């Protein structure tokens, strides 16, 4: 972008280091977790004792206080305002998902979200529609209790909905109409692949994993590849890279605005999942910094994005997907480049291996705490699957749309030809996941394997550093 937009003026926040900023964001996250002022102030006192900067201490206190206020407001809105019978307009917030002989969907009614498990005729009336579309329904709003209520509240769902009848549908807002038109066209293109590869293809490209069979989901989890079906920064990067030749034709302000619009459009297309929000906000911050002439390293951009997102939506703090996305990104930013010199072999292998190790180190705390495991086969599985999955993400969206359009006009033969590379690549990724799940050792052997990898890497780093000292 035009460097004439670079500003030489420095503000106080430019002097805050990334480590200091991370400390402030940690107070924000802790404030949301605790949502009580007294414990946060106690933590702030410890921070003040360890870190003598009054500015950082003040930012920690302010950030924590804002987080407590936002958290209390979020939980207050997680309570239903009205229960009982309802008859009127309701809009889908999520795409309906087939589960256990029913259709699961979240409706927004009078500004609040209710989760429905529709059966019978309402199930078939809902299943073919997408998020953003609205209908008239007759239903009963009910309370949720216990663990289901808390899990629902984290998704801003305040209650259950027993749907009795469904009326006529409308297409919703212009953004909903535009994104749903693209998703339906893409679904037609994805249908050119055989099942279950068509469901996996949709998950890889736009994160639509609603129809993936349970066996496929289990294989991806067991092999450490489930992140591929959650839209992330890689998908956003591919979208921006694909649009770059067109975006470059505009002036700097136009490039920046178009970039932000593309990020927002892709986030809407992929349903604002937590990983998409993290990736989209990071991309927007990076694009804005580039436009303003103040580019920042990825770790600083990630820190700012986490702080902003948690303050905007405090309930993200309880999202496992959000923290897996944050952890993987932090691991790659911290270790992805630093480990490359210490990994034997050619650079084309050392770079993806370092990125994979960094990402696995980043997700390890969350994966171990929540799932109790960290697949050992995730290292070779990611090395084999990620580059091919990247091709699917880059080629798949335009190919899916073209195949869908051709299928409408000319039938399926030419569409199948367009989708042949997608079919081959998607089958490769699925095969890697299946083999990884088959050869994943027991948790005990997995722990031994990770320990051996860590010991070998530590020994190599020590040897290389000692050699450089002796030679220097």
| CATH number of domain containing 106 | 2.40.50
* Of 134, 131, 122, 133, residue with least CA distance to 161: 122
CA separation for the pair 316, 306 (Å, rounded): 10
Residue 455: inside a domain: yes
* Distance between first and last Cα of the chain: 41
Both 333 and 405 in one domain: the answer is: yes
- Report pLDDT for 380: 94
Q: What is the pLDDT of residues 326-383, one digit of tens each?
A: 999 999 999 988 999 898 888 888 898 999 899 989 998 988 888 888 899 999 999 9
CA separation for the pair 152, 80 (Å, rounded): 12
Both 319 and 338 in one domain: the answer is: yes
pLDDT more than 70, % of the chain: 96
Residue 459: inside a domain: yes
Both 52 and 132 in one domain: the answer is: no
Total number of domains constituting the chain: 4
Strand partners, 157: 113
Both 272 and 393 in one domain: the answer is: yes
Both 307 and 430 in one domain: the answer is: yes
Q: What is the pLDDT of residues 139-188, one digit of tens each?
A: 999 998 776 788 888 899 999 999 999 999 999 889 899 999 999 999 99
Question: What pLDDT band is residue 472 in, cutting at 50, 70 and 90?
Answer: low
Both 164 and 208 in one domain: the answer is: no
Both 297 and 435 in one domain: the answer is: yes
Both 448 and 431 in one domain: the answer is: no
How many other C-beta atoms are found inside a 10 Å radius of the C-beta of residue 140?
14
- Distances from the Cα of 396 to the Cαs of 238, 401, 402, 403, in angstroms? 11, 8, 10, 10
Residue 177: inside a domain: no
User: Domain of 104?
Assistant: 84-172
CA separation for the pair 438, 219 (Å, rounded): 8
**Six-digit token pair at 77?**
């809105």
Both 164 and 197 in one domain: the answer is: no
Among residues 172, 191, 219, the one where a domain terminates is 172
* Of 218, 69, 62, 83, residue with least CA distance to 145: 83
The alpha-helical segments, DSSP class H, found in 191-319 are 197-206, 214-222, 233-247, 252-269, 274-292, 298-312
Residue 13: inside a domain: yes
Both 265 and 284 in one domain: the answer is: yes
Both 427 and 456 in one domain: the answer is: no
CA separation for the pair 191, 417 (Å, rounded): 13
* Of 227, 174, 222, residue with least CA distance to 203: 227
How many other C-beta atoms are found inside a 10 Å radius of the C-beta of residue 201?
29
Q: Assess whether pLDDT exceeds 50 at residue 5.
A: no
Q: What is the pLDDT of residues 297-325, one digit of tens each?
A: 889 999 999 999 999 999 999 998 899 99
Both 147 and 187 in one domain: the answer is: no
């Amino acid at each position: 972008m035009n460097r004439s937009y670079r500003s030489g003026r420095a503000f106080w926040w430019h002097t805050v280091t990334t480590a200091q900023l991370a400390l402030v964001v940690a107070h924000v996250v802790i404030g949301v977790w605790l949502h009580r002022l007294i414990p946060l102030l106690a933590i702030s006192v410890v921070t003040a004792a360890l870190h003598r900067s009054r500015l950082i201490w003040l930012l920690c206190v302010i950030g924590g206080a804002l987080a407590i206020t936002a958290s209390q407001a979020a939980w207050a809105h997680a309570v239903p305002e009205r229960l009982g019978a309802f008859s009127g307009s309701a809009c889908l917030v999520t795409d309906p998902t087939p589960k256990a002989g029913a259709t699961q969907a979240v409706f927004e009614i009078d500004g609040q979200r209710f989760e429905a498990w529709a059966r019978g005729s309402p199930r078939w009336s809902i299943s073919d529609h997408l998020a953003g579309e609205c209908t008239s329904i007759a239903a009963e709003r009910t309370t949720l209790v216990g663990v289901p209520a808390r899990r629902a509240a984290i998704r801003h769902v305040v209650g259950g909905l027993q749907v009795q009848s469904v009326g006529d549908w409308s297409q919703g807002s212009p953004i909903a109409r535009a994104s749903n038109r693209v998703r339906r066209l893409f679904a037609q293109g994805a249908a050119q692949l055989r099942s279950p590869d068509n469901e996996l293809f949709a998950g890889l490209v736009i994160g639509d994993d609603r129809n993936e069979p349970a066996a496929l989901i289990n294989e991806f989890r067991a092999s450490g590849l489930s992140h591929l079906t959650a839209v992330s920064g890689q998908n956003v990067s591919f979208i921006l890279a694909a649009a770059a030749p067109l975006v470059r034709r505009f002036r700097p302000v136009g490039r920046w605005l178009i970039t932000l619009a593309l990020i927002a459009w892709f986030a809407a297309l992929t349903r604002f999942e937590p990983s998409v929000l993290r990736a989209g906000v990071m991309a927007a911050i990076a694009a804005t910094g580039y436009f303003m002439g103040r580019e920042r390293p990825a770790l600083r951009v990630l820190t700012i994005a986490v702080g902003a997102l948690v303050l905007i939506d405090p309930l993200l703090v309880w999202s496992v997907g959000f923290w897996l996305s944050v952890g993987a990104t932090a691991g790659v930013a911290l270790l992805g480049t630093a480990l490359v010199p210490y990994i034997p072999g050619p650079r084309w292998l050392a770079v993806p291996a370092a990125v994979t190790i960094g990402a696995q180190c980043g997700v390890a705390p969350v994966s171990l705490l929540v799932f109790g495991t960290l697949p050992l086969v995730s290292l070779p599985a990611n090395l084999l699957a990620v580059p091919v999955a990247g091709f699917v993400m880059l080629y798949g969206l335009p190919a899916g749309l073209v195949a869908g359009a051709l299928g409408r006009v000319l039938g399926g033969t030419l569409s199948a030809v367009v989708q042949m590379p997608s079919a081959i690549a998607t089958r490769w990724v699925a095969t890697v996941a299946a083999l990884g799940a088959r050869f994943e050792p027991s948790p005990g052997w997995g722990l031994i394997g990770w320990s051996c990898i860590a010991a070998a890497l530590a020994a190599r780093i020590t040897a290389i550093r000692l050699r450089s000292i002796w030679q220097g």
